[in-house]
Chain A
Amino acid sequence: MKQYAYYPGCSLESLAKGYDVSSKEVARALGLDLKEIEDWNCCGATAYFPVDELLAYTLVARNLAIAEKTGLTDFVAPCSACFKNAYFTNAYLKQDPDLADHINFALEEDNLHFDGKLKVRHLIEVFIEDVGLEQIKNKTTHPLTGLRVAPNYGCQLIRPRKGKENVETPQFFEDLLSAIGAEPIEYATKTRCCGSSLIITNRRAALDMVRILLQDAIDSGAHVIATTCPMCHVNLEVYQSQVNQEFGTNLSIPVIYFTQLMGIALGLKTKSLGIDRAVLAKTPVLA
């Protein structure tokens, strides 16, 4: 059973508990062992960089250094914002020995050292690349036949660009949904931003961004929106009523983590996937 250094991130301890439990359950069912790293700290989300970029990198580097200490080779984050911060901090520190030295000086205070030995990955990438679509398909006992799913890529999972990958029309999420028997829908806004922390700092802008995503998914015939990020998930799910109030719309669609859909397809109990924790459950999608 391959082991991974698992970094849940703050959201997965609170608002996105269902993402955490379903990630672990699905990983186990697929023969992967997500070992949570000890005493991790917040990655800084998107709010650190405005204040101090160096501090932002240091906070992320501490988590990377803790993961390195375990001897495991892969750092896995299910939260897209944590993933993006960890991925780029890892890359920048490896490229810039002066920056790494400076940060290692700070890490000494916690008896840690960043060596740059890790590969930073998002959970969806691990499932697709390490388990493989074929294997996921083989293990699917309850294919989600007829379920029309809008794959919401969001931002930080695919942007900024890491290499030459397709950031405009990625397909890997659709491929995964097809592997579990669901029907991924095509819609124009699958990589559009959910508004992220603007929900706090510029509410109207964020609610409008949420409205556009919900409207597009519904108009494209989706039964449900699947997410890979707790921030997108909260904005799309929890703020539906506020969107309707603000814009006089009547939008309603369930939002579910991709791991929860996978768990259902793999025949895992819905309770163990945290699905009962969903804030909105107006529309019964899977009877």
Chain B
Amino acid sequence: MTAELSFSNEIANMMYATHGNPITNCLQCGTCSGTCPAAEFMDHTPRLIIGMIRENLKDEVLASNTYWSCASCYHCTVRCPAGIDIADMMYALKRYSMWKSRYQEGLIGPAFSESFVKMIVNSGRSFEPILAATYLPKFSASQLMQEALTATGLVLKGKMPLLPKKIKRLKNFQRMVKRIIPLGESS
């Protein structure tokens, strides 16, 4: 008989499965929050979000923009005195929220990640204009204008290719992906 896991243990378990110490080692010292370059744009700082996970505040944690505001710069990770890979924890939270399909409305991050994966699976390469189609609809009019001007400048400078590249052995590549993520068919 296994006991039902608390949210805190679920996330702690995800940390065991990745790298570094589990979040139960957190001292609540706040070095991560003081280091994080995105902290002021987060609903809750990294220190606070760890405290909230440990208090099993699942709804509040999942509703927070904190983990989707992490740029994965690992500055917190290398400074954490308790040896917790906090950036990896943010990835774990992203995965958790995508599995459960529960995240703050209006965030671009989840759609961006999903379309990124779809794009790679379809072509083997990443390609900015296809990606843009997924996130541009979420932009405001002025952001759109800015982005259009930037993109036009990039195309004119020869920096932005107009056609997506594909890898040659795409069929093999896609069968390889299917061995990792079974997509239903013959896999």
Of the four ranges (under 10, 10 to 19, 20 to 34, 35 or more), the interface on chain B belongs to 35 or more
CB-based contact B72/A48 at 8 Å: no
The stretch that binds A, out of B21-29, B46-54, B158-166, is: B158-166
Closest to B158 in A: A277
Residue among A45, A156, A161, A167 making CB contact with B116, cutoff 8 Å: A45
Of the four ranges (under 10, 10 to 19, 20 to 34, 35 or more), the interface on chain A belongs to 35 or more
Residue among B18, B40, B107, B126 making CB contact with A42, cutoff 8 Å: B126
Known contacts A160-B74, A209-B71: A193-B37 contact under CB 8 Å = yes
CB-based contact B68/A202 at 8 Å: yes
Known contacts A109-B176, A161-B78: A14-B120 contact under CB 8 Å = no
Residue among B65, B74, B98, B179 making CB contact with A159, cutoff 8 Å: B74
Does any Cβ of B come within 8 Å of A203's Cβ?
yes
Known contacts A159-B78, A279-B154: A55-B38 contact under CB 8 Å = no
Give the shortest distance, in Å, between B53 (CB) and chain A (any CB): 17
Known contacts A42-B120, A51-B95, A58-B176: A277-B157 contact under CB 8 Å = yes
CB-based contact A14/B160 at 8 Å: yes
Main secondary structure of the interface of B (DSSP, over half): helix
Does any Cβ of B come within 8 Å of A195's Cβ?
yes
- A210 CA to B127 CA, complexed, in Å: 23
Interface string of A85-110 (1 = CB under 8 A from B): 00000000000000000010111111
- Residues on A with C-beta less than 8 A from B16 are none
Closest to A192 in B: B37
- A198 CA to B161 CA, complexed, in Å: 22
CB-based contact A52/B181 at 8 Å: yes
Give the shortest distance, in Å, between A106 (CB) and chain B (any CB): 4
Give the shortest distance, in Å, between B74 (CB) and chain A (any CB): 4
Does any Cβ of B come within 8 Å of A197's Cβ?
yes
- Residues on B with C-beta less than 8 A from A15 are 128, 154, 159-160
- A14 CA to B165 CA, complexed, in Å: 10
CB-based contact B159/A196 at 8 Å: no
Closest to A17 in B: B159
CB-based contact B125/A41 at 8 Å: yes
Selected A-B contacts with CB under 8 Å, 19 pairs: A17-B158, A17-B159, A42-B126, A44-B120, A47-B116, A48-B113, A48-B116, A50-B113, A58-B176, A109-B175, A110-B173, A168-B78, A192-B73, A193-B73, A196-B72, A197-B71, A201-B108, A205-B38, A279-B159
Given A201-B68, A201-B108, 6 extra CB contacts under 8 A:
A14-B127, A54-B180, A109-B173, A109-B175, A277-B157, A279-B159
A interface list, Cβ under 8 A from B? 10, 13-17, 38-42, 44-55, 58-59, 62, 103, 105-111, 155-156, 159-161, 167-168, 191-193, 195-198, 200-206, 208-209, 212, 238-239, 242, 245, 277, 279
